Amino acid sequence: MTELKNDLFLRACLRQDVERTPVWMMRQAGRYLPEYRATRAKAGGFLDLCRSPELCSEVTLQPIDILGADAAILFSDILVVPEAMGMKLTFGVGEGPKFPDPVTCRADVEKLPVLTDPSDGLGYVLDAVATIRRDLNGRVPLIGFAGSPWTLATYMVEGGGSKNFSKVKAMMFNEPETMHLLLGKLADSVAAYLNGQIAHGAQAVQIFDTWGGILTTRDYGEFSLAYMQRIVGQLTREHEGRRVPVILYTKGGMGWLEAIADTGCDVVGLDWSIDIDQAKARIGDRVALQGNMDPTMLYAKPGRIREEVRDILARFGHGNGHVFNLGHGITPDVPKEHAIEFFRAVREESVRYHQAAS
Ligand code: 1CP
């Protein structure tokens, strides 16, 4: 196995010493990069891109070359899991994802299989993981990912993105057992899928709970966090002689940081609604923190972006356990130069917080 040339990200996830704060960005391979748009055009559509291991690898490596990211993230989508469970999925041009035949009742949930073997239906993603590891050649670690069961369920029941989540909420309130059956199937499928990614070379994994924040505290515990916990409990935690860090990210979940840290994850992903010093005071002695610049800060001038990076670094202060990131994904219309400046600023400004104590 090739030695990692830059393992800052893995060390920060485990709260070990680093020379500077590592940085990567959610959605770092994406439409704000002309290079990404060119590769996607070559593939045909978004799902064709996801299904080509060679092209997936190409777009995964673009932000490593262009931004100098300290970690690569598998290029795929969270919705390939319900697709592999038999649901038709489409991505129209300029549109979000759509499930034209959504889950509407108990019988629909009963029909869905648990994916115990990800090579059955998701083999193309596992091939992409192995191809990316080969092409990275040890430059930076590779992060694998999946959606949280709750977040996947929102798309499966709503039939796509949603504003008020009326259908999935109605199912949760009216038929809680049906919802639990669905979430349990998703949790076990996601756990097997993430273990497949780890076996094929993912060196850390992140669970994206993009829609956990729309729930009450009680419902978050019962319908989202419990199922992420069930996944964490099933994951391979060591591979290739190293710990495989697990990152949990709940957008809108900053009120529940202690409960998220209690799942046994290694890293808690922060959105931009909390000051990182507050998050550090609450859970920083137990887990590493990932985040948390407001993604819209990337619309500001480069000087303002650098000022914000400095402020977040100062709030975290000295000490280990910070992976710099945005609080959510980069948006498609951000100028590429601004993203480059964000990465440069973190690299340059963070060194002072990691000098040996004198
Ligand atoms: O036009 C295009 O090229 C498609 C845009 C796009 C991209 C680049 C989609 C459609 N998915 C992706 C890739 C993707 N999705 C990654 C790649 C790795 C990276 O560089 O970060 C990841 C991690 C995801 C995860 C994902 N997909 C999430 C969770 C993270 C988040 O951003 O909140 C969610 C909610 C999705 C669903 C999805 N896929 C695509 C879109 C536009 C959406 C959101 C739909 C909506 O609710 O409006």
**Amino acid, res. 311:** D
User: What digits encode the pLDDT tens for the residues 56-86?
Assistant: 999 999 999 999 999 999 999 999 999 999 9
Nearest to 284 by CA among 245, 244, 323: 323
Q: What is the mean pLDDT of residues 93-113?
A: 95
User: What digits encode the pLDDT tens for the residues 301-342?
Assistant: 999 999 999 999 999 999 999 999 999 999 999 999 999 999
Evaluate if residue 357 carries a pLDDT over 60. Answer: no
What residue has token string 């299904």? 51
Cα 36 from Cα 22, distance rounded (Å): 23
**Is the beta carbon of 40 within 6 A of some atom in ligand 1?**
yes
What residue has token string 């993603």? 125
Distance of CA 223 to the CA centre of its chain: 19
Helices (H) and strands (E) in the chain, counts: 16, 11
Which residue lies with its CA nearest to atom 29 of ligand 1?
Answer: 208
**Closest-lying ligand 1 atom to the alpha carbon of residue 94:** 1
232, 190 contact by CB (below 8 A) = no
Confidence of residue 355 (pLDDT cuts 50, 70, 90): confident
Cα 180 from Cα 177, distance rounded (Å): 5
| Number of CB atoms found within 10 A of residue 114's CB | 14
Burial 304-319, CB ≥16 within 10 A → b, else e: ebbebbbebbeebeee
Q: Which residues contact 161 (CB under 8 A, 6 or more apart)?
A: 96, 97, 155
Half-sphere exposure of residue 335: CA atoms within 13 angstroms, side-chain side: 9
User: What digits encode the pLDDT tens for the residues 207-252?
Assistant: 999 999 999 999 999 999 999 999 999 999 999 999 999 999 999 9
**Alpha carbon of 353 to ligand 1 centroid (Å):** 33
**Is the beta carbon of 207 within 6 A of some atom in ligand 1?**
no
Distance of CA 182 to the CA centre of its chain: 22
> In terms of DSSP bridges, do strands 204-209 and 97-98 run parallel, antiparallel, or are they unpaired?
unpaired
What residue has token string 């830059």? 6
Is 230 annotated in the active site? no
Cα 7 from Cα 14, distance rounded (Å): 11
Confidence of residue 94 (pLDDT cuts 50, 70, 90): confident
Going through the chain in order, the beta strands assigned E by DSSP cover 72-73, 90-91, 97-98, 142-147, 204-209, 238-239, 242-243, 246-250, 267-269, 288-293, 322-326
| CATH classification (class only), 8-353 | alpha beta
Is 31 annotated in the active site? yes
Q: Which one of 7, 15, 127, 155 is the catalytic residue?
A: 155
| pLDDT value of position 358 | 44
Q: What is the mean pLDDT of residues 33-52?
A: 97
Is 27 annotated in the active site? yes
Q: Which one of 37, 77, 277, 286 is the catalytic residue?
A: 77
Domain boundaries, the chain: 8-353
Q: What is the mean pLDDT of residues 190-218?
A: 98
Confidence of residue 1 (pLDDT cuts 50, 70, 90): low
